[in-house]
A and B are shown apart, each in its own frame.
Chain A
Amino acid sequence: MITAGIDMGSRSVKVVLLEEIKVDGAPQLNYSVKKAHLMMPGDIDADQAAEKAFTEALAAAGVSRDQVTSVFATGAGRKQVEFATEGVTEMTAGAKGAVFMYPQARTVVDVGAEEGRGIKTDSDGKAIDFAGNEKCAAGAGSFAEAMSRALQMSLKEFGEASLRSDKSIPMNAQCTVFAESEVVSLIHSATPKEDIAKAVLDAVASRVCAMVRRVGIEGNVVLIGGMVHNPGFVASLKNAMDVDQVLLPDLPEFVSALGCALIAAERQH
């Protein structure tokens, strides 16, 4: 049995194909991912983006469309995935995927381009409670992205630069738009770039952390979503949450799509 999970984010579509195979009579799950299909900013034709990403994923896995018994969608644009049979929330999908990868995880932190949230989960990967940044760019990846642009650095350079700083400059602005002017005045006052990068990532981390604290930090903490690729952010988050370890999956942006495919598979039984 093969199921698919599609995570329709604000910037990219992620597809995971999940196959249930029998090993010595016991069911086992095997999943494959296809590199995310990136949407151009403002690429509003989400149906086409989802269709394209799905076709690419099928081709890469050598699976034909009719072999897929069920397609579930998640993410902010899940309603635009017309060929999906059902939609699940990002909280449900994120918790499911994270606990599948790390069974001991109870706190899931999900930080993507436009959304950040903290999810509390049970041992089955069922989301119990969550708190998010909804509809505000502060506390999500786009905040860091806007600031790295102001510093004329790539997000990767930005994250690495912040690791070289041991300063803690507080940012006063909560809003991304206002923070841009604040970063510009820091540049004008000759503040080193790495210190600015750290100040920005600390600010995002403290906001994300405040959301997570609203649901409570319990058990192991997993970070999912694109910001896992930013080592500076991970360091800032660990520091803000005051935890020794944050589990980082290899393919962090696919965890929600995986969770989605897992839920699709469960519903088949």
Chain B
Amino acid sequence: MIANYGYKDGSGEYYISIDTDKCIDCAANRACLTACPKEMFEMITDDYDDEVAWVKKSNTRTLAYDCAECKPAGGHTSLPCTTACTPGAIKHSW
């Protein structure tokens, strides 16, 4: 399942998508949980009883702001979360 967390508003589209099929048996030892400086990722048991990561509810409506410091303007050349997730389950839409 591709789970998209985020929103679209007047200023643009901001989604973090998680491919839960790649996430279930994480080969990166859940590195996303500690890689994100804002600790936005969290483990949940989803509706189909799989243990997967999701983006915390408190962040899904403010992604454009919350992720700003990891984006190129904040000095990063690669995103900590997508880099840490070696299975490639995490993607940013912007």
Contact = CB atoms under 8 A, between A and B. Distances in A.
The reply to whether A and B meet directly (CB within 8 Å) is yes
Interface of A: 132-136, 174, 207, 210-211, 213-215
B29 interface: no
B1 interface: no
Interface string B1-18: 000000001110000000
Contact of A135 (B10, B68, B69, B73): B10
A132 B9 CA distance: 12
A174 B10 contact: no
Q: Tell me what chain B mostly uses at the interface: helix, strand, loop, or mixed.
A: mixed
A9 B10 CA distance: 18
Interchain residue pairs A-B with the least CB separation, the first 3? A135-B10, A210-B65, A136-B10
B72 to A, nearest CB: 11
Contacts of B65: 207, 210-211, 213-214
A156 B30 CA distance: 50
A174 B62 contact: yes
Nearest to A136: B10
B68 A214 contact: yes
Contacts of A207: 65
Contacts of B22: none
A204 B62 CA distance: 13
B73 A214 contact: yes
B74 to A, nearest CB: 8
A116 to B, nearest CB: 11
Nearest to A215: B73
Nearest to A178: B61
Given A174-B61, A174-B62, A214-B73, A136 B68 contact: no
A134 B65 CA distance: 14
B11 A210 contact: no
Contact of B10 (A134, A211, A213, A214): A134
Interface string B56-68: 0000011001001
